[in-house]
A and B are shown apart, each in its own frame.
Chain A
Amino acid sequence: MKNRVKALKNKANSIRKLIIKMLAEAKSGHPGGSLSSTEIITCLYFDVLRHDPKNPTWQERDRFHLSKGHCCPAVYAALALSGYFSTKELMNLRKFGSLLQGHPDSRTPGIEVASGSLGQGLSVSLGMALAAKMDKKDWRVYCLMGDGENQEGNIWEAAMACAHFKLDNLCAVIDYNCFQIDGRTEEIMNLEPLANKWESFGWHVIQCDGHNIEELLLAFEEARATRLKPAVIIAHTVKGKGVSFMEHVADFHGRAPTEKEQAVALRELEEVEREEGKLD
């Protein structure tokens, strides 16, 4: 377990550095939510998901759907580090003709279904989970949502239906970083009591520190063991996590770091790496 966690921590840090680099290069994009969801995405791609980067359309793969599509830089980094495409490709993020669109597009190896318009991803995942149930397949479906996204009505239509259909092969994760573009979620449109809402909709609710690898792995295990109802992991996170001047700052929801900010951010992340006992 200890080595497993350490390896994932290192992976998360590598992903954070790539997020900063690709967003600085692209000069636009969404660092805040990408950084808050880094550990979640790391655990999924490097531990939880059954997938084969050499065969992205393998029938028996688990499906991952990024409902909060704007945080695709974190997923792109995870896909590249997994081997779906070269890490060099990351520097083409958001550029004309790029494999890596500003929001997920199904042209990208490893992306199942495009996303970006918030609120639809849980429904898309529901459809996938239904397909697995109909075909009696054992692959699972994972869906990562934003917290602000929980303000969309479509999410609650899907929440009601996933429980109704007893989709225990579906695990939703909410990146609860408490910020949306215009400010704090509790000020813009309060989500609380969020866990109660999901519970009352018939879900098995698991709460954890979304930056703690051990807690996340346990949460995913608990979700997998849940029977006859879908599971949701409410992962409590910090917007902009890992870069001091981005943490808890709404401005970095949708603003890329400048070159100067990039240098500072990378220095900080390398410092963490050194502390973790790993140097590139």
Chain B
Amino acid sequence: MSQAQYTRDAYGNALVELGGRDASIVVLDADLSGSTRTSFFRDKFPGRFVNFGVAEQNMMASAAGLASCGKIVFASTFAMFATARALDQVRNSICYNNLNVKIVATHGGITVGEDGASHQALEDVNFFRAIPNMKIIVPCDGPETRSAVIAAYETPGPFYIRLGRAKAETIKNKSEFILGKGYILGKGKDVAIIACGITVGEAIGARVLLEKEGISATVANFHTIKPIDQDLVVDIARNHKKIVVCEEHQITGGLFSAVSEVLVRKYPVRVEPVGIEDRFGQSGKPQELLDFYGLTSRSIAEKAKKLVRQQS
């Protein structure tokens, strides 16, 4: 029996849990509190919730001001607006001052679906990854979202946690969440599949498909994109020589880039991306879009198979 949950529900619940524990937590939103589930916190702690209206730049710079006075600030909106719209505010007011602002954005990735390209953040991780002090987590499911939110709360400094819009299948047999540490979900020997977010589930599906074709694949969950778990990347490269990296993001600047940056410096092996290849999204049902842009178990398996059959 599989279980699916909105990761944003897990976020909203985690906020309420932390809010009861720590009176210094303040939650901000920019007119999307119903969608981002910060409304859960608002209903419980109205005095510590601030709605900024449709003004993300103001929200992010204000978050910096609140954090400079000792507040632990969670700021939420859609991934598109949290990153691109407010980039300068996040860089200069939050990250440069290394302030305690946790940006938790929902509606990241292509599975935003029907709203189309303007709302499908596919560059968000890229925007934030280059900024010093920023840590980035892309959780794969509800329970991992809760762990990520708690880790961000417990760790001083700015964070970006990227969530999706659609429900995410709860991944079984996950390892304990440790910030900055990836983990192996299934061991194989021919090829390794590194994934984050909703592609973790797809990678597990790909592993099953590959098995039927006699290919044994390792699947690793890299929930923390920054700092990337360099040791595990090198370890995987040493044991496989062929790696596929999957993400619901442009192949520029996200997990594929982060993994490749480690590999070229420490252990060069063949690495192939599964992600959006330099194009915008479009309207459609989440599953239609995953199929079209090649983010399914099947396309991951295809890429892995091709890689395995190639002479190295």
Residues of A within 8 A of B (CB): 63, 65, 105-106, 112-117, 119-121, 123-132, 134-135, 153-154, 157-158, 160-161, 164-165
Of B89-97, B157-165, B250-258, the one with at least 4 CB within 8 A of chain A: B89-97
By CB atoms of chain A within 10 A, which of B47, B88, B96 has the most?
B96
Q: List 15 A-B contacts (CB under 8 A).
A: A63-B68, A113-B97, A114-B96, A114-B97, A120-B61, A121-B61, A123-B62, A124-B62, A127-B61, A127-B63, A127-B69, A134-B48, A154-B89, A161-B55, A161-B62
Contact, CB under 8 Å: A131 / B57: no
Contact, CB under 8 Å: B92 / A116: yes
Q: Which of B55-86 contact A (CB under 8 A)?
A: 55, 57-71
Contact, CB under 8 Å: A124 / B64: yes
By CB atoms of chain A within 10 A, which of B58, B59, B88 has the most?
B58
B267 at the interface (CB under 8 A from A): no
- In the complex formed, the residue of A with least CB distance to B98 is A106
Contact, CB under 8 Å: B66 / A123: no
B156 at the interface (CB under 8 A from A): no
Q: Please, which residues of chain B bring their CB within 8 A of the CB of A105?
A: 96
By CB atoms of chain A within 10 A, which of B55, B65, B89, B97 has the most?
B65
- In the complex formed, the residue of A with least CB distance to B101 is A127
Q: Please, which residues of chain A bring their CB within 8 A of the CB of B96?
A: 105, 114
Partner of B68, one of A117, A127, A153, A158: A127
- The smallest beta-carbon distance between A221 and chain B, in angstroms, is 25
Contact, CB under 8 Å: B58 / A123: yes
Residues of B within 8 A of A (CB): 26, 47-48, 50, 52-53, 55, 57-71, 88-89, 91-93, 96-97, 99
- The smallest beta-carbon distance between A238 and chain B, in angstroms, is 29
Q: Please, which residues of chain A bring their CB within 8 A of the CB of B57?
A: 119-120, 123, 153-154, 157
Q: For the complex, give the distance between the alpha carbons of A131 and B71 in Å.
A: 7
Q: Please, which residues of chain A bring their CB within 8 A of the CB of B58?
A: 123, 126, 154, 157-158, 161
- The smallest beta-carbon distance between B49 and chain A, in angstroms, is 10
- In the complex formed, the residue of B with least CB distance to A158 is B58
Contact, CB under 8 Å: B88 / A134: no
Contact, CB under 8 Å: A123 / B88: no
Contact, CB under 8 Å: A113 / B66: no
Contact, CB under 8 Å: A123 / B70: no
Q: Please, which residues of chain B bring their CB within 8 A of the CB of A117?
A: 88, 91-93
Q: For the complex, give the distance between the alpha carbons of A105 and B66 in Å.
A: 17
Q: Please, which residues of chain A bring their CB within 8 A of the CB of B60?
A: 123
- In the complex formed, the residue of A with least CB distance to B89 is A120
- The smallest beta-carbon distance between B208 and chain A, in angstroms, is 49
Partner of A126, one of B62, B88, B89: B62
- In the complex formed, the residue of A with least CB distance to B54 is A157
Q: For the complex, give the distance between the alpha carbons of A129 and B68 in Å.
A: 11
Q: For the complex, give the distance between the alpha carbons of A157 and B70 in Å.
A: 24
Partner of A123, one of B61, B71, B91: B61
Contact, CB under 8 Å: A127 / B55: no
Q: For the complex, give the distance between the alpha carbons of A135 and B69 in Å.
A: 10
Q: Please, which residues of chain B bring their CB within 8 A of the CB of A112?
A: 68
- In the complex formed, the residue of B with least CB distance to A106 is B97
Q: For the complex, give the distance between the alpha carbons of A215 and B136 in Å.
A: 50
Contact, CB under 8 Å: A157 / B68: no
Q: For the complex, give the distance between the alpha carbons of A105 and B95 in Å.
A: 12
Partner of B65, one of A125, A153, A154: A125
Q: For the complex, give the distance between the alpha carbons of A158 and B93 in Å.
A: 14
A-B interface, 5 closest residue pairs, ranked by CB to CB distance from nearest: A127-B65, A123-B61, A131-B69, A157-B58, A127-B62
Q: Please, which residues of chain B bring their CB within 8 A of the CB of A154?
A: 57-58, 61, 89
Contact, CB under 8 Å: B47 / A120: no
Q: For the complex, give the distance between the alpha carbons of A130 and B63 in Å.
A: 10
Q: Please, which residues of chain A bring their CB within 8 A of the CB of B65?
A: 65, 113, 123-131
- The smallest beta-carbon distance between B55 and chain A, in angstroms, is 4
Contact, CB under 8 Å: B55 / A120: no
- In the complex formed, the residue of B with least CB distance to A116 is B92
Contact, CB under 8 Å: A124 / B68: yes
Q: Please, which residues of chain B bring their CB within 8 A of the CB of A157?
A: 52, 55, 57-58
Q: Please, which residues of chain B bring their CB within 8 A of the CB of A135?
A: 69
Q: Please, which residues of chain A bring their CB within 8 A of the CB of B48?
A: 134
Q: Please, which residues of chain A bring their CB within 8 A of the CB of B97?
A: 106, 113-114
By CB atoms of chain B within 10 A, which of A116, A117, A124 has the most?
A124
- In the complex formed, the residue of B with least CB distance to A103 is B92
Q: For the complex, give the distance between the alpha carbons of A124 and B92 in Å.
A: 11
Q: For the complex, give the distance between the alpha carbons of A125 and B52 in Å.
A: 14
Q: For the complex, give the distance between the alpha carbons of A188 and B26 in Å.
A: 40
By CB atoms of chain B within 10 A, which of A112, A113, A129, A161 has the most?
A113
- The smallest beta-carbon distance between B64 and chain A, in angstroms, is 5
- In the complex formed, the residue of A with least CB distance to B62 is A127
Q: Please, which residues of chain B bring their CB within 8 A of the CB of A121?
A: 61
Q: For the complex, give the distance between the alpha carbons of A117 and B62 in Å.
A: 14
Contact, CB under 8 Å: B64 / A134: no
Q: Please, which residues of chain A bring their CB within 8 A of the CB of B47?
A: 134
- In the complex formed, the residue of A with least CB distance to B91 is A117
Q: For the complex, give the distance between the alpha carbons of A132 and B67 in Å.
A: 12
